[in-house]
Amino acid sequence: MSVLFPLLQSMYKSRHVNFIYLPFYVDFLQKRNSYRYFTLNSCDQNVARCCDIIELNTRIQRELFKLLNKSAAEGGLYGGASAIKSRFLPWLGQEYIYDGRSLTAGYANRDQINQLEETKLSLQIMEDELRTIHEENALLREQIKSRSSNDLKSLEYNPVEVKPVKRLKRGASLSSLDSIQELRQDQIIQRFKDMYYTERIDAMNTLRLYSDDQIRNEKIVFTVFRKACAAGRFGLHQYKNKLRDLLDDKYDGPQSRDQLAQDFIYRNTGPYDLSGMVSDVIRDVDSSISHLLPPGCSIAVICPFIRESCKLGWDMASLVVPLDIDLGIDTVFDPVKYRRSVNSDYSSHIVSHFIWPCLYLGSSLASSRKVVSQGEVETRSTVDQRNYRSRSPSPRSRSPTKW
């Protein structure tokens, strides 16, 4: 700044600057000299003096740029260019400006450093949690060891007398069985109820293509369902016998062969020869109730219904406490086991025919059986002995047959 005052004086003499600009510099020097005694001034005074110096410096720079513009304008379009290049161009070197790329790289490095710090912090937290979990596991392991050792000592000093388990009664309640057995029983009961509304209706619709007689079709479906369930039970009985024969010479353990066979069937509930059961039912029905079938019609037209009925019969018999259906031989209506159909005569108690059997918990021949799902019958004042004629448009042979 001490060099600026002689420069302004020389330029003033050469009419490049007015005398009004010189007091700015004088005032600036006075402010700077007063700022030297900042140790004797208060904080507010020093800050005020510093602001004054900054304002004066700004005003001086503005006047200097005006002076530079006027001086360069006297030299024409390129006046003073060489002097500006030689004096100001070195200031634009690499050491005086910030490189944009380096600035961006600096921000990126700062972000990476912040992410690294956050990662370190999260890892530290996870390590602390893992250390806490290891300590808890070690504590639990010690507790389990001490508990198991105490239980072992109590068993050594207090031996329990083990008695052979007696054979389960056929009418035993489900309270003595496991929850899986109870769940499987509920599922089978629900399947039995669903078959009444789905597979039975589909079979009735298929038979209606050959005969429009509703009563005949209901009798056919009931007979087929009863024989299919019996075939499923008989197939399971044969399968149990095969398992016992296989275990006769190859097993020597604490459990009986019957228990092992039942356990194997309990874990593998699917029928082993379903197609054979279906074929047996078709042959049996075609030969036993041929008088009910329409002419030229085989019971194989409702093969899906027969298949599902055989599977249901197998599953019902595979339970520890089996499920069984009613034989359908009663002639008097029993409201506990059955409900009336919509076409029934509600004033009569004589059973005309069975539509759907009731379901028992336990064998149908046992006295301790329990009804878990009602069946359906049709009651009439007199048993209908009329002939059943087919009203299907397909050709028929021979005269109508009685059933």
> Is residue 356 domain-shared with residue 241, that is, in the same domain?
yes
Structure tokens at 311: 């599977």
Q: What residue has token string 């004088």?
A: 26
- Give 75's DSSP letter: T
> Is residue 136 domain-shared with residue 285, that is, in the same domain?
no
d(CA 226, CA 296): 23
pLDDT at 159: 46
Give residue-wise pLDDT tens across range 333-391: 999 999 999 988 888 889 999 999 999 987 767 677 889 999 999 998 875 544 444 33
> Is residue 87 domain-shared with residue 110, that is, in the same domain?
no
| Residue 152 covered by a domain | no
Range of the structural domain that residue 202 is part of = 186-379
> Is residue 230 domain-shared with residue 357, that is, in the same domain?
yes
pLDDT greater than 70 at residue 233: yes
> Is residue 269 domain-shared with residue 133, that is, in the same domain?
no
Number of domains forming the structure of the chain: 3
Backbone angles phi, psi at 379, to 5 degrees: -105, 140
Q: Identity (one letter) of the amino acid at 335?
A: P
| Residue 155 covered by a domain | no
d(CA 113, CA 224): 80
Last residue of a domain, one of 92, 127, 160: 92
> How much is the average pLDDT of 290-315?
88
| Residue 160 covered by a domain | no
* Arithmetic mean of pLDDT over the chain: 76
Confidence of residue 89 (pLDDT cuts 50, 70, 90): confident
> Is residue 249 domain-shared with residue 290, that is, in the same domain?
yes
d(CA 151, CA 322): 38
> Is residue 313 domain-shared with residue 226, that is, in the same domain?
yes
> Is residue 205 domain-shared with residue 287, that is, in the same domain?
yes
pLDDT greater than 70 at residue 178: no
Nearest to 71 by CA among 15, 30, 120: 15
> Is residue 230 domain-shared with residue 111, that is, in the same domain?
no
**What percent helix, strand, coil does the chain show, rounded to 5?**
60, 5, 35
Sign of the CA dihedral 33, 34, 37, 42? Answer: negative
Give residue-wise pLDDT tens across range 36-47: 555 667 888 878
| Residue 120 covered by a domain | yes
> Is residue 284 domain-shared with residue 316, that is, in the same domain?
yes
Sort strands 359-361 and 370-373 into parallel, antiparallel or unpaired. antiparallel
d(CA 275, CA 148): 52
| Residue 373 covered by a domain | yes
Structure tokens at 106: 């600096």
> How much is the average pLDDT of 153-173?
45
Q: What residue has token string 């002639």?
A: 331
Q: What are the residues whose beta carbons fall under 8 Å from the beta carbon of 353, sequence distance 6 or more?
A: 215, 218, 219, 222, 377, 378
d(CA 358, CA 330): 12
| Residue 88 covered by a domain | yes
| Residue 390 covered by a domain | no
> Is residue 258 domain-shared with residue 132, that is, in the same domain?
no
> How much is the average pLDDT of 171-198?
77
d(CA 231, CA 210): 26
Strand order in the sheet with 359-361: 323-325, 359-361, 370-373
Conformation bin of residue 397: beta by default, left when phi > 0, alpha when psi is -120 to 50: beta
| Residue 225 covered by a domain | yes
d(CA 324, CA 363): 6
| CB contact at 8 A, 80 and 71 | yes
pLDDT at 17: 45
Count Cβ neighbours within 10 Å for each residue of 232-257 and write b for 16 or more, e otherwise.
Answer: bbebbeebbeebeeebeeeeeeeeeb
pTM of the entire predicted model: 0.51
| CB contact at 8 A, 232 and 311 | yes
> Is residue 204 domain-shared with residue 327, that is, in the same domain?
yes
d(CA 32, CA 6): 18
Last residue of a domain, one of 61, 92, 123: 92
